[in-house]
Structure 1
Amino acid sequence: MRLGLHALGIGSGADRAVIDAVASTADALGFATLWAGEHVVMVDQSASRYPYSDDGVIAVPAEADWLDPMIALGFAAAASSRIGIATGVLLLPEHNPVVVAKQAASLDRLSGGRLTLGVGVGWSRDEFAALAVPFERRAARTAEYAAAMRTLWRDDIASFTGEFVSFDSIRVNPKPVRSRRIPIVLGGNSDAALRRVAAWGDGWYGFNLDGVAAVRECIGKLNELCDGLNRDRSELRLAVALRSPSPEDVDELTALGVDELVLVESPPAHPGQAADWVSGLADRWMTKPH
């Protein structure tokens, strides 16, 4: 079981010195991945329900610093040499896919092939409105954008015709390091999100799940969906973040086929304390419980 850390880009995790300390220490101690999420805008009173809490309210204050994940992960990659970096998640339908393809390939190249692109369809109508992007049909837009980006990464001279994006005979360089591919992992815990994972994703990032039982239910659905599509579920990378994780959960998650447990934590605000904070997490989670 790999161990990931979702700690960068927000609040105290948006400080340059904290990013350096967390990334370098997590790299040295054997963490698998550093995750960073995204919201381009926040509002004080949202008209949309946050899907990952019981009360429908996101825990991050609207006034908190929230870095662009590509930029935050670029700094994390520069402060490390081995650990993977992942957006968790980038709200793909809010962006121009040609630009995202360029940004992702650039970050993948500069990090030596360490990027996983976690994407989501988004939940905040306010955010889509601020960006002048239609909220409706955002799932279809996301799927098409992902297909277009894969085309741009794969082909030297790329063409694509779709409902939401089209281009003809263009070159977008550099190309990703690993066989001109960047894994696209899909966020979301709903049945619709799991259908997207089975249909066209390279993996799943289940976020803020309420214990191992919720993971088991989601993976059971995912197994059925993959069977219906004649897809080998073992090809998918499964990463999950639990609301109240315990080291005792690791064996059960491993048995379910989870590849990575992601700890969602806030680092200390003082950079001098960040390395010890990461070491404390490693001591708790990387020592087999008796």
Structure 2
Amino acid sequence: MRIGLHALGIGNGARPEVIRAVAAAAEARGFARLWVGEHVVLVDDPMSRYPYSADGRIPIPAPADWLDPLLTLSFAAAVTGRIGLATGVLLLPEHHPVVVAKQAATLDVLSAGRLTLGVGVGWSAEEFAALGVPFARRGRRTAEYITAMRALWSQDVASFDGEFVRFEAIRVNPKPVRGRRLPIVVGGNSDAALRRTAALGDGWYGFNLPAATVAERLSALAGYCERQGRRVDELTVAVALSDGAPELLPGLAEAGVTELVVVDAPPARPDAAAGWVGALADRWLAHAP
């Protein structure tokens, strides 16, 4: 099992000197990937329910700095050479897929093929309203955008005629490094997210899951994969736990988890980053099966 780190882009993790120090230390200590999430906007008093907490409220204060994930990972790529990079997750229906395809392929080229594109459908109606994107049918929009981006990556001259996006005989370069394809990980814990993973994903990212629910979610994912004529072991499975402990790692690996993502906030001082990353590595990597 690999161990990833979801720590950059927010608060202290939005400071360039901290990003540089954490990224370098995480690579040196053997973390598999750096994960960075996204919100384009936050509002002070949202009506939308955050799906990853018991009280329905996002634990990040609205005034906090929250960097763009692709730009953050580009900065991290420039100060590292081996560690994987993953959006965890980019809210795909909030963006034009032609632009995302261009940006993601650019980062993949600049990082020598280290990018995994994690995508989600979003949960904040207020955020969609601010961006002028319909909140309804965002799942269908996401599925179509994934298909359109894969056409852009794989074809020299691409055309697409969908409900939400259309283009005719266009060239979008560069192409991703690994066979003109970027691995797409679908985020979300709901049945809809699992169905989307089975239909379209190269992997799944379950976020802030209680450890006791992981096996059930993976069983549901396996069922959806079977309906699609796929095997669940064809997918990568990354999970961030809400109540995890290193002793759980062997059982999670046996259940089918391929990457445990440690979610934490880095220290404010860059000179403390190496020790902080080292403590996380000592706690988690030593127990990885």
Q: Shorter-chain TM-score: which interval?
A: over 0.9
Partner of 2:225: 226
- Output aligned runs, 1:191-210, within 5 Å: 191-210=191-210
Which whole-Å CA distance do the structure 2 matches of 1:262 and 1:270 have between them?
A: 23
Number of corresponding residues:
288
1:255 corresponds in structure 2 to 254
Matches within 5 A, 1:17-96: 17-96=17-96
Q: Where do residues 132-281 of structure 1 align in structure 2 (5 Å cutoff)? A: 132-211=132-211, 213-281=212-280
User: Can you list the C-alpha shifts for 1:162-196, whole angstroms capped at 9, x where unaligned?
Assistant: 00001011000000000000011001000111010
Residues of 2 paired with 1:287 and 1:68: CA distance? 32
Q: Secondary structure at the match of 1:205?
A: strand
Distance, in Å, in 1 between the alignment partners of 2:92 and 2:146 is 8
Q: 1:288 deviation in Å?
A: 3.4
- In 2, the alpha carbon distance for the partners of 1:6 and 1:15 equals 15
Q: Which runs of 4+ in 1 moved over 3 A?
A: none
Q: Distance in 2 between matches of 1:244 and 1:78?
A: 33
Amino acid corresponding to residue 252 of structure 2 in structure 1: L
After superposition, the CA RMSD in angstroms is: 0.8
What amino acid maps onto 2:217 in structure 1? C
Q: Aligned with 1:48: secondary structure?
A: coil
Q: Output the TM-score relative to the length of structure 2.
A: 0.99
TM-score (norm 1): 0.98
Q: Aligned pair 1:285/2:284, yes or no? A: yes
Paired with 2:227 and 2:57, the residues of 1 have a C-alpha distance of 35
Task: Summarize deviations over 1:252-278 as a string: whole Å, max 9, x none.
Answer: 110011100000000001111011100
1 CA distance for matches of 2:229 and 2:45? Answer: 44
Query: What is the aligned partner in structure 2 of residue 127 from structure 1?
Result: 127
- Give secondary structure in 1 for the equivalent of 2:88: strand
Q: Secondary structure at the match of 1:220?
A: helix
Structure 2 SS opposite 1:104: helix
Distance 2:183 2:64 in 1: 29
Which secondary structure state, in structure 2, belongs to the residue aligned with residue 185 of structure 1? strand
Q: State the secondary structure of the residue aligned to 2:89.
A: strand
**SS at the partner of 1:286?**
helix
- Give the percent of matched residue pairs that are identical in Structure 1 and Structure 2: 66
- The answer for unaligned runs of 5 or more in structure 1 is none
Q: Which runs of 5+ in 2 are unaligned?
A: none
Instruction: String of CA shifts for 1:49-83, please: whole Å, max 9, x gaps.
Output: 00000000000000000000000000111111100
